[in-house]
Amino acid sequence: MTKKAVPTLLFISALLHLYIGLRLQPDLAFSPLAQWSLTVWLVISTLLIPAPLLVRLSPMGRAGDAIGWIGYLAMGVFSSLFVLTILRDLTLATSGLINMLRPDTIAMLTLRENSAVGVIALTVFASLIGVFNARRLAKVVEVNVPIANLPQALQGFSIVQISDIHVGPTIKHGYIRAIVDAVNKLKPDVVAVTGDIVDGSVAHLRKHVAPLGELSARHGVYAVTGNHEYYSGADAWVAELRRLGLHVLMNQNQVLNHDGTNVLIGGVTDYAAHKFDPTHKSDPLAALVGVTQAIAIKVLLAHQPRTAPEAEAAGFDLQLSGHTHGGQFLPWKWFVPLQQPFTAGLHRLRKLWVYTSRGTGYWGPPIRFGAPSEITHLRLVAQ
């Protein structure tokens, strides 16, 4: 998106905010203060929605981060307010239909006033809880992955997955440091970082990503690109992550010998990487090239869950993905299935297990509601 898109975005923002105002303000007539407050907020919010885009196009240091924070927060509040206003309108329409069939069944004036207040109250509540959920350290989620004919040497083999951190205007060094400390306490055999690490350039975010270089695991730390790396300069970020000591797998693999048994960790570029660089086309089959030794289990790191059919066809046993954020906050979790086969958690696709992380950070609005962030501690167990 370019600076030329800002006026269009501002126009769309104005129309959507106008809809909210027209639907809610008349039913707040009993409180002029409430009407005035809503009007002021809608005007401010209209102007704030494009702010994160402007900051992204023209980074402005701390001032830019502050603008990004406020703009993204306004975006999250608006999202909840807009959706709840639509739900209110559907409720009012249904109630009106009931009154047509059975006159005076519902006191419409009371319903209109109470529901207008309810929409605002629920928006404030969801936003406050959402910010708290987003900004706290992600909880560790324990997951057992049952594997048929798992060798005894691999019983309990552990992988800690982090995903979708989105270092950028609102996620900085301290947030990453807390994640790294929590991961290292788990003492995993492997750490997997499944993409969307950053939202910005190496020049602006290098010091904030630096703690990832201190991730520790018995067999190393492996990473793959997500779509946001391609928005931020994928080649530069791959080089930087490798400089920090992460093994970035670009349709590649690494064979690990764990107590005499071989485990393959494969990694593919993002599902849509070829749109940015044709040489980066995601290819699970290529992630198996060069393997000559016997492999007990094959694990694929793939940012998007929709890589799963190709991963299963290639012969992988387990795919670790992210991208969806579990929807991040309502109602968006209900829309994820329109694009991805899995929203969150452990699922089976024929012979392939797929685990989709809800993400360890968040994108855009610093809000999580109904989709908590996670640091995933996966263990292989005999089926």
Work out whether strand 221-224 and strand 190-194 pair parallel, antiparallel, or are unpaired. Answer: parallel
Decide: pTM greater than 0.75: yes
The answer, yes or no, to whether residue 17 has pLDDT greater than 70, is yes
Distance from C-alpha of 351 to C-alpha of 311, rounded to nearest angstrom: 10
What are the tokens at 57?
């196009």
Q: Is 235 helix (H, G, I), strand (E, B) or coil?
A: helix
Q: Which CATH architecture has domain 139-382?
A: 4-Layer Sandwich (3.60)
Please state, rounded to an integer, the average pLDDT across all residues of the chain. 93
The alpha helices in 272-358, defined as continuous H runs, are 308-314
Q: Which residues pair with 329 in a beta bridge?
A: 369
What tens digit of pLDDT does each residue of 294-314 get? 999 999 999 999 999 999 999
- Domain boundaries defined on the chain: 5-134, 139-382
Q: Is 107 helix (H, G, I), strand (E, B) or coil?
A: coil
Q: How far apart are CA 352 and CA 247, in angstroms?
A: 24
| Neighbour tally for 44: CB within 10 Å | 12
Quick: pLDDT tens for 79-100.
999 999 999 999 999 999 999 9
> For position 256, what pLDDT does the model report?
97
Residue-wise pLDDT for 179-230, tens only, equals 999 999 999 999 999 999 999 899 989 999 999 999 999 999 999 999 999 9
Would you give the DSSP letter of residue 230?
A: H
- The span from the CA of 225 to the CA of 303, in Å, is 7
**Over the stretch 119-172, which tens digit does the pLDDT of each residue have?**
999 999 999 999 999 999 999 999 999 999 999 999 999 999 999 999 998 999
